[in-house]
Amino acid sequence: MTSRLVRWTGVFVAVVGLLAVSVVDRGVETEDQRIQRLHDSYACPVCDGQSVADSNASVAEAIRTFIEVEVVAGASDDQIRDDILAAWPGSLLNPPGEGFAALVWVLPVVVAVVGAVGVAFVVGRRVEATTVSSADRDLVEAARRGTER
């Protein structure tokens, strides 16, 4: 039982460590990196699921130009987002992480955790069911001797 606990603790620590590394800020973003990130964040309004960065449509070019001008002018990401959504509604590729739309980000994590707990519960019950108790050993010994308990 102790070795199982150590293994599960190791798995838990590894998963938490990987999650922590994935969300750590990797330093200051350059202007070009910020522009590229913003290009990747918006959908082309006339293309089917294509980002502004990947589209050759004229409206995508207009959005790219708008983003570049606004970044150089010092606008914040929120200001740029608000202006783009006002001019081109529905062009946000990723749903916001707030309000009702936050469920898109939270629900998969909840499902994964519930699934992992369910698997651990089933595996734990199966291990308990296969564990031989001292009463079972006594019954087997009694049967081998040919006597009843």
How many Cβ atoms from other residues are within 10 Å of residue 40's Cβ?
13
Is residue 52 assigned to a domain? no
Does any domain span residue 24? no
Q: Per-residue pLDDT tens for 119-130?
A: 888 887 776 666
Distance CA 113, CA 10 (A): 17
Query: Is 37 within a domain?
Result: no
pLDDT tier, 104 (very low <50, low <70, confident <90, very high otherwise): confident
- Rounded Cα distance between 110 and 121, Å, is 16
Q: How many domains does the chain have?
A: 1
Residues 47, 59: contact at Cβ < 8 Å?
Answer: no
- For 24-67, the pLDDT digits (tens) are 666 788 899 999 999 999 999 888 888 999 999 999 999 999 99
Q: Which residue range forms the structural domain that includes residue 106?
A: 96-149
Report the 10 Å Cβ neighbour count for 64: 18
Residue 2: the pLDDT is: 66
With respect to residue 71, please indicate whether it lies within any of the assigned structural domains.
Answer: no
Residue 110 lies in a domain: yes
Q: pTM to 2 decimals?
A: 0.52
